[in-house]
Structure 1
């Protein structure tokens, strides 16, 4: 990928493009509401993320265009002697630019942030309906060391 790719923290004016990226696949179309204006729930969530020092929305920007997004959350644990973990979620890249190194650079940037914050582990999940994402994360060194479960509450 061109070295002009930049990673930066998201701002409120980026929210519509973020939701557009999240909604731009089969799974995302089922759960996101890409409308104009956006539903208030997105604005509330964005403001909560921005107001929490343990959460960051990271954008990949190429030639002034947002081409990727991820969220990283830092969580303190009592395990590992009170260690911190970094959890990466909501990773999306522009579908026309996949395979160009954007996702790799975003994940590497998130890992760098995790190291800076003193996290002892970086963890993430990916939907089983996205086997290509699982292979992508494995190529970056992530290992399926745990079995994850989710309970949707509504």
Structure 2
């Protein structure tokens, strides 16, 4: 497997993966051609040095996984940096083959290399399998997260 920074031509594969799970089916709009909003978002992510949109390729160079790493500088921890993982997806036919563990080990090393003092993530309570997977990797449910959605 190979992990690399995503390029714009990867967008259809990434959006397809994020739209195929039970929650993505509700909130995403995967179609060809992709809506402009995905290209706009990619441009913003790509231009921000604190954002890394990542893809995982198999031996045939097919994209089988994706995630976004965000590096958040802040004042606590004496001006520390917190890394956050978002939008983790594994292509359905590649699940259960160690791809997720490979991605997370890479992300843990990447966050450490960038000087982050912690790596955090959120997971929807409707995904108990994901929660068990993250705990197996050493993540702890140390905080209760909350969100406020806007109707834009």
**TM beyond 0.5:** yes
Identify the match of residue 35 of structure 1 among 20, 31, 37: 31
Q: CA deviation at 1:82?
A: 0.8
> Match for residue 138 of structure 1?
135
Query: Does 1:102 find its partner at 2:111?
Result: no
Structure-1 residue corresponding to 2:150: 153
Q: What is the Cα deviation at residue 95 of structure 1?
A: 1.4
Shift of 1:72: 0.3
- What secondary structure is seen at the aligned counterpart in 2 of 1:88? strand
What is the distance in 2 between the residues matched to 1:103 and 1:44?
A: 27
1:54 aligns with 2:34: no
Partner of 2:123: 126
Determine helix, strand or coil for the equivalent of 1:119. Answer: coil
Q: What is the rounded CA distance, in whole Å, between the counterparts of 1:72 and 1:148 in structure 2?
A: 18
In structure 2, how many angstroms separate the alpha carbons of the residues matched to 1:100 and 1:128? 24
Superposition TM-score, scaled by structure 1 size: 0.96
Deviations 1:3-50 (A, max 9, x none): xx1111100000000000001111111001011111111000000000
Deviation, 1:151, is 0.5
Structure 2 spans left out of the alignment, 5+ residues: none
Q: Name the SS of the counterpart of 1:26 in structure 2.
A: coil
Aligned-residue CA RMSD (Å)? 0.6
- Runs of 4 or more, structure 1, over 2 Å off, are none
Do structure 1's residue 114 and structure 2's residue 114 form an aligned pair? no
- Write the distance in 1 (CA, Å) between the matches of 2:54 and 2:131: 20
TM superposition shift of 1:141: 0.3
Gaps of 5+ in 1: none
Distance in 2 (alpha carbons) for counterparts of 1:72 and 1:78: 20
**Equivalence for 1:84:** 81
SS state at 2:15 partner: helix
Which residue of structure 2 lines up, in the alignment, with residue 73 of structure 1?
Answer: 70
